[in-house]
Structure 1
Amino acid sequence: MRRNEPGAKKATFAHDRVQRKNGGRRETMSRAKKHLSRLGVEPLYAPTVMLTSIIACYLDHQGVLPQLRIPGATWPLRAAGIALALFALALWARAALFSGIQTAITHNQLLTTGPFAIVRNPIYSAFMLEASAIVMLTGNVYLLILPPAYYLFLTLLIKHSEEKWLRRLHGEEFDAYCQRVNRCIPWFPRRGEEGR
């Protein structure tokens, strides 16, 4: 598109970069991006944890991984895995399909109701729980090292991306929300220290 064509100004504007001062730091932001990405860290996080769990299950089934199965605990662990998988699926469906998340992102609204009242990142948490449930189904106690790794990975991603953006946008409202609701682990809202 040439600059002197009618749509050229609009196309150029979308690619302009603006500098903005924020707390003594200079940040470069695209004028076209004034809200969070609709997918957030999901394209990185979800495939990573799900594929890790699936590969771990496959390797466990093939006998490649060391195995530790506690007599009498295998079936309760699998039952807990099934329950966790069902909860994760329900959490994901409620957050992704019925919470109005896409509208909230577009209009820069902070969602704090529905699934967002029990966990700040219900969609990501659902993937974390689902991936954890998959490894629980193997009954191999050694694979239970993966859920804490998934939690740590998600915490690092969220703290260094979306939380920074939301804190700048919503300020004290977001800080108060963080005090009440966990970042990754669904739980009842509370008062006090920052959520996990």
Structure 2
Amino acid sequence: MYENHLPIFGVGPYLVLIIGIITIIFSISSYYHLIPVYKINELNMVFFILGVILISLGIVFWISAVLVSKISDEVENNKLVTTGIYAYVRHPIYAAFFYAATGLILISQNILLFILPVFFWAFLTVAMINTEEKWLIERYSDDYRDYSKKVNRFIPKVI
């Protein structure tokens, strides 16, 4: 499955591409009223602000995981990263795209699309369990199991 280290990209690009395409298609369809649009006019600004916050959070997570933590270097060196952003979420790169997609959906303000983040979360969870987390358990065994008991996949623990 892996030679000297886990795959640097894994299934990530495919998962992110699927989420991105679905988000863009439904957002454009909503914008052009190709699908039904249901809005709560009193909350337009709230949804817009929350959307911008989530997109910004996604950018911060991605920068923290890729540039600050230098995850590709750590993978090549066979290190289990549990510090930095990885101390808060196990899969911050996926979380980044999840937050950005959810933010874009909120900005669209179409309540009909608000089900998509639930679908994305379930899709990513199943994909992670069956691919990367499986590889991580094979490679790091109890170290990864202990880490996963303390740190959520995509959403930081509040308490």
Instruction: Give TM-score, length-normalised by structure 1.
Output: 0.77
Runs of 4+ residues over 3 Å off in structure 1? none
- Structure label with greater radius of gyration: 1
Equivalent runs, 1:49-128 vs 2, <5 Å: 49-128=19-98
Does the aligned pair in 2 maintain the 1:82–1:137 contact within 8 Å? yes
* Structure richer in helix, relative to its length: 2
Q: How many residues align?
A: 159
Does the aligned pair in 2 maintain the 1:50–1:131 contact within 8 Å? yes
Alpha-carbon distance in structure 2 between the residues aligned to 1:36 and 1:169: 8
Does the aligned pair in 2 maintain the 1:154–1:184 contact within 8 Å? no
Instruction: Give TM-score, length-normalised by structure 2.
Output: 0.95
Per the alignment, residue 16 of structure 2 pairs with 46
Tell me the C-alpha RMSD between the 2 structures. Answer: 1.3
Long gaps (5+) in structure 1: 1-28, 191-196
Displacement of 1:158? 0.6
Alpha-carbon distance in structure 2 between the residues aligned to 1:83 and 1:56: 20
Bigger drift between 108-117 and 94-103 goes to: 94-103
AA paired with 1:72? E
Amino-acid identity (%) = 31
Displacement of 1:46? 1.1
Residue 175 (structure 1) aligned to one of 130, 138, 145: 145
Long gaps (5+) in structure 2: none
> Which of structures 1 and 2 has the larger relative contact order (alpha carbons within 8 angstroms, sep 6+)?
2
Displacement of 1:81? 0.3
